[in-house]
Amino acid sequence: MFHKIAALFALIFISSVTRASDSLRLKSIPHPLSWNAQPADLHIRSASSFTMKAAKGTDLYCFVDGSYYVHQVPMLLFKPDSAFIFSAKLKPQFRKFYDGSAILLYTDSSSWAKLLLEKMEDGSVAIGSSIVRNRVTDDNYHRTIPGNEVYLKAVRAGKVYCFYYSTDGKTWNLLRTFSLENPENLRIGFYAQSPKGEGLTVDVSDLRYTAAPFKNFFTGE
């Protein structure tokens, strides 16, 4: 009974702090999280899961030649340790093409890295990644997946960053490696987008964070 009461108290506490100016505390993350902008909706479901909604017309994107740039999404971010393993299960409630949600590594409004689960124009659901430097992107479209949910992971060890995905949260597959500029300004977390639709709700669950470098390059564990 004590554990149930404690869990309920923690849930009430973190659920009450949802405004853009406030910080959020989740038990699974040892650092405070903060919003860059108010989400359309937010619901904390447990110490390691929440649901957020991005409004209509939200997007975080720039074209490969730098000719197009948009930075209009709700981002929930925190400042990580110098080495980390960060993962979660993302389940967007897709409606329109380009609806999506991502794990985000963010240094400033011109430079970031994202691992995105996105609905494509043909109706498929794909994992893609972008490394953006000075508003110029290096995009990769990695693979399509069945269904509308996947586990995504970002890790850092020294100057090396890696992205991974998993269908079960246990067997991880390496997608790409990269470096980031200005890592001293790095914050990490999540965002959601709906550039062509009326909004997107995404369930984030099984949230995990370890302040340590990975030992296995190919699994990020």
Alpha-carbon distance of 131 to 136, in angstroms, equals 8
CATH architecture of 2-210: Sandwich (2.60)
Q: Nearest 5°: phi and psi at 39?
A: -75, 160
57-102 per-position pLDDT tens digit: 999 999 999 899 999 999 999 999 999 999 999 999 999 999 999 9
Candidates 158, 199, 209, 217; CA nearest to 54 is 199
pLDDT category, 23, cuts 50, 70, 90?
A: confident
The secondary element (H helix, E strand) that includes residue 160 is strand 160-166
pLDDT category, 181, cuts 50, 70, 90?
A: confident
Identify the pLDDT of residue 22.
61
Average pLDDT across the chain, whole number: 90
Does residue 9 carry a pLDDT above 70? no
Alpha-carbon distance of 202 to 186, in angstroms, equals 23
Q: Quick one: residue 98, left, alpha or beta (phi over 0 = left, psi -120 to 50 = alpha)?
A: left
Contact 10, 27 (CB under 8 A): yes
Q: Nearest 5°: phi and psi at 177?
A: -120, 155
Alpha-carbon distance of 92 to 148, in angstroms, equals 7
Does residue 143 carry a pLDDT above 70? yes
Q: pTM of the full predicted structure?
A: 0.89
Lowest-confidence pick of 123-127, 175-179, 180-184, 199-203: 180-184
